[in-house]
Amino acid sequence: CPSSPKHPSSPSEKSGNLNVTKITEQGKKVRKNWTSSWAVLHGSSLQFAKSQGGWFGSHQTKPDFSVDLRGGSVDWASKDKSSKKNVLELKTRQGTEVLIQSDNDGTMNDWLRILKETIDTHVWE
């Protein structure tokens, strides 16, 4: 997925295993359902695919769902959102809220940084 010529210095893309749950969909609260997902950042789109076995490098499965980061926000989730550690809360412009989590502190610090960069770089036009 080459970076867009419009954004020659756009941050490098990222992928990795994360625990994911939606908490709100288009403004409506939905039941939490933590699942282990393979997350891939493609431009301003963060895509989640179920990560049960298999090698995702060569045989990319269809994403379960994706969120458009343009116009969204990301930050550490407040303690009342989850009892887990290192939880990031991602809010989209469409009113979907997603929690992503990993027990690895460095992993989540990296995701926070790159998601913030992505949101700052890909402005809503």
Chain residues that interact with ligand I3S, rule: CB under 6 A:
32, 34, 82-84
Q: 36-53 burial, b if ≥16 CB within 10 A, otherwise e?
A: ebbbbbebbbbbbbbbee
CB of 51 to ligand I3S, least distance (A): 18
CB nearer to ligand I3S: pick between 9 and 83: 83
CB nearer to ligand I3S: pick between 84 and 116: 84
CB atoms within 10 A of CB 111: 23
Distance CA(89)–CA(13), nearest Å, equals 19
CB nearer to ligand I3S: pick between 41 and 87: 87
CB of 84 to ligand I3S, least distance (A): 5
**What letter does residue 80 receive in the DSSP assignment?**
G
CA angle 45–17–50, rounded 5-degree value: 75
CB nearer to ligand I3S: pick between 81 and 116: 81
Distance CA(61)–CA(123), nearest Å, equals 28
CB of 69 to ligand I3S, least distance (A): 22
CB of 87 to ligand I3S, least distance (A): 7
